[in-house]
Structure 1
Amino acid sequence: MKRNSNVVGAVCLLVLLVVGAGCSNQALLIQPVSAKRTLKEHIIQKPKGTVRDKVAVIDVDGILVNHAKSGLLGRSDNPVSLFMEKLAKASADRAVKAVVLRINSPGGTIGATDAMHHALTQFKQETGKPVIAIMLDLGASGGYYLACGADGIVAQPSCVTGSIGVILQTMSFKGTLDKIGIKAEAIKSGELKAMGSPLKDMEETERDVLHSIIMSQYNIFLDVVAKARPGIPEDKLRSLADGRVYTAGQALDAGLIDQIGYPENAIAWAKREAGLSRCQVVIYHRPVDYKPNSYATAMSPIEPGALVNVGLPHWLTASG
């Protein structure tokens, strides 16, 4: 009896979805989806006639972290892993003569960003294929760091970029805990083991240690930008790299980008660098995704068996 009620409930839900779709300008499309999760190639531009050569568009969206992202309907790919997978596909395809890196990111962790930048520079060295970056709405902080690995940088007129720097945000709940009569005490192996703990005020020694780490990572970032933009004098670069963001026009004037344009401009530049007059433009995606043009972004794939994923704080789910 319980099984029958479940079936009835499922049928009712499906009917409601279909009726709801019919009452709006939305359509409910039910179709079989491949269970294979390997990347597929989708053609977004193709000239008439037979053309073998390709320019591959590789998209980098959202916050750059080295773990899978959780969403309402499931978990999406690890950005670092997905980026490397796309680079590997473009590297293995001899018909791919150039790559356009389409970036729409506010940045991320220094580790994830640096790993992606390293993979990009290795790709260029091993394949010799030119890479042109196009930054859409955002190409800030780690997004700009990654763009510096390309042979040229284009930014849309409305793009916000820059934010060259590193930040570590801390906070202290000690004052609040004191007011409600809670005292935290840490049993530690060394004086700095509880460094950065929100349960106590930060001491000057701890602040100095953390600041030295931040400055070390900042200098790595600065070195990446300096190598990518050799025309900017060191003193000017340091003044530009104070963490502020720039419009596309300001970034162009400062020498942080090469031109203002759109994805089609980046594609045209990549074609010139590769010596192509006619070619296909392709983009990589999972089988569940659809890519209609060079502005399309990846959807978060739905995990089998998961309808709604309500994320819990890391400290409630971490196992180690």
Structure 2
Amino acid sequence: MNTKRWIAIVAAVALLGISIVINSAFALFQNSFGTGVDELMGATETGFSENVIEAGDFNKRIAVMNVDGVIQDTGEAASLFGAAGYNHQAFMEQLELVGEDDSVKAVVLKVNSPGGGVVESAEIYDKIKEIQKNTEKPIYVSMGATAASGGYYISAPADKIFVSPETLTGSLGVIMQSVNYGELAERYGVDFVTIKSGPYKDIMSPTRDMTPEEEAILQEMLNDSYESFVDVIAEGRDMTEEQVKQVADGRIMNGRQAVEADLADDFGYDEDVIAALQKDFDLAGAEVFEYGANQGLGSLFSMKVNSLFGADMESQMIAKLLTEHSAPRMMYLYGEK
């Protein structure tokens, strides 16, 4: 191992230690002085700031909500080695606020996501359906550069879906992946010892080939999730199961193709979607706002560390291996995690 790699490893380990210390100290600080910190950081009583996009009538407001990034629950705080991205817990809390706030008359959901976890996508979908049922608030979706797989799943129940002609969408289906490095390990003399209580306890092990029986077990699980996905689209888009399955084969498509396949309603960017919502539901003059998250000291520190080490791709990869230990799971996801 050359000097550069040793330096990268030492730097990654050091940063991991610093991250643990900073996060622990900040958590203690928040627990001890939580109310004061929130006030200093400009938080509202809900814990989220409200950034006004268009000033207007406060009694009839349009909430703009953002799903930006992979839809997965990685915890509240961003990793030291990664920029703050989609925060599942925060987004679910924002949906709860939208449902309870009588001043919010409509929602624009901005989706820029390749999808994500099956469970997290279903949680968002269920909450959107609950809001629609209990409040009858209209929800329009504005798809960004990418709104595929789980990104489409959470969009399906919307009253209208708007795309750019070049939006990357589709990829309707389920995927489960793992890496098999058994042959590589064998080449270097690495032997894996596994003691298990049943024949399938190490299913999808990265150290060996999968058996046909194991593959059949997993395929049955994926088929169930796929059928649920098809049902969600069929209900949301008023399509038959057969119509959905004609395009729900994993293919990716652009915005033009999505409109032609009845998976989207019209073309438009964020401002067009807001204007359409105002026109369709007599919300001219409504205040338009979006929720903003307050950045804690940990997030600010993370930004500084990324700025310092961002150019060192090798140290980032090593840090990722040190801090992420994710088991294979079913995903509504286009592309790699």
Q: What TM-score comes out, normalization by structure 1 length? A: 0.77
Gap regions ≥5 residues in structure 2: 1-38, 307-315, 326-337
CA distance in 2, matches of 1:131, 1:185: 53
The alpha carbon displacement at 1:303 in A equals 3.4
Change (3 A) 1:301 1:268: farther
| Partner residue, 1:303 | 299
Q: Which among 201, 211, 217 is matched to residue 209 of structure 1?
A: 217
**RMSD of Structure 2 on Structure 1 (CA):** 2.6
- Please give the secondary structure, in 2, of the residue aligned with 1:147: coil
CA distance in 1, matches of 2:178, 2:85: 28
The alpha carbon displacement at 1:170 in A equals 2.2
Q: Does 1:222 align with 2:230?
A: yes
CA distance in 2, matches of 1:120, 1:51: 23
The alpha carbon displacement at 1:175 in A equals 1.8
- Please give the secondary structure, in 1, of the residue aligned with 2:50: strand
Gap regions ≥5 residues in structure 1: 1-31, 289-299
Aligned amino acid, residue 233 of structure 2: V
Change (3 A) 1:157 1:33: farther
| Partner residue, 2:50 | 41
Q: Which moved more, 1:160-169 or 1:77-86?
A: 77-86
- Please give the secondary structure, in 1, of the residue aligned with 2:191: coil
Residues 67 and 86, structure 2, Cα contact 8 Å, conserved in 1: no
Q: Does 1:262 align with 2:258?
A: no
Q: Which moved more, 1:102-111 or 1:168-177?
A: 168-177
Q: Which among 44, 65, 70 is matched to residue 63 of structure 1?
A: 70
CA distance in 1, matches of 2:324, 2:42: 28
- Please give the secondary structure, in 2, of the residue aligned with 1:257: coil
| Partner residue, 2:94 | 86
Residues 162 and 273, structure 2, Cα contact 8 Å, conserved in 1: yes
**Higher CA-based Rg:** 1
Residues 168 and 252, structure 2, Cα contact 8 Å, conserved in 1: yes
CA distance in 1, matches of 2:189, 2:290: 58
CA distance in 2, matches of 1:301, 1:147: 33
Aligned amino acid, residue 308 of structure 1: V
Q: Does 1:162 align with 2:159?
A: no
Aligned amino acid, residue 213 of structure 2: T
Task: Give the structure with the higher percent helix.
Answer: 2
Q: Does 1:134 align with 2:142?
A: yes
Aligned amino acid, residue 132 of structure 2: K
The alpha carbon displacement at 1:121 in A equals 1.0
Q: Does 1:248 align with 2:245?
A: no
Residues 51 and 278, structure 1, Cα contact 8 Å, conserved in 2: no
The alpha carbon displacement at 1:169 in A equals 1.0
- Please give the secondary structure, in 2, of the residue aligned with 1:108: strand
The alpha carbon displacement at 1:187 in A equals 0.9
Q: Does 1:144 align with 2:152?
A: yes
CA distance in 1, matches of 2:324, 2:288: 42
The alpha carbon displacement at 1:243 in A equals 0.5
Large movers: runs of 4+ above 6 Å: none
- Please give the secondary structure, in 1, of the residue aligned with 2:63: strand
Residues 74 and 302, structure 1, Cα contact 8 Å, conserved in 2: no
Change (3 A) 1:65 1:180: same
Q: Which moved more, 1:85-94 or 1:71-80?
A: 71-80
CA distance in 1, matches of 2:170, 2:300: 39
Residues 173 and 226, structure 2, Cα contact 8 Å, conserved in 1: yes
- Please give the secondary structure, in 1, of the residue aligned with 2:78: strand
Residues 69 and 86, structure 2, Cα contact 8 Å, conserved in 1: no
CA distance in 1, matches of 2:54, 2:43: 25
The alpha carbon displacement at 1:152 in A equals 1.2
Residues 75 and 301, structure 1, Cα contact 8 Å, conserved in 2: no
Residues 61 and 289, structure 2, Cα contact 8 Å, conserved in 1: yes
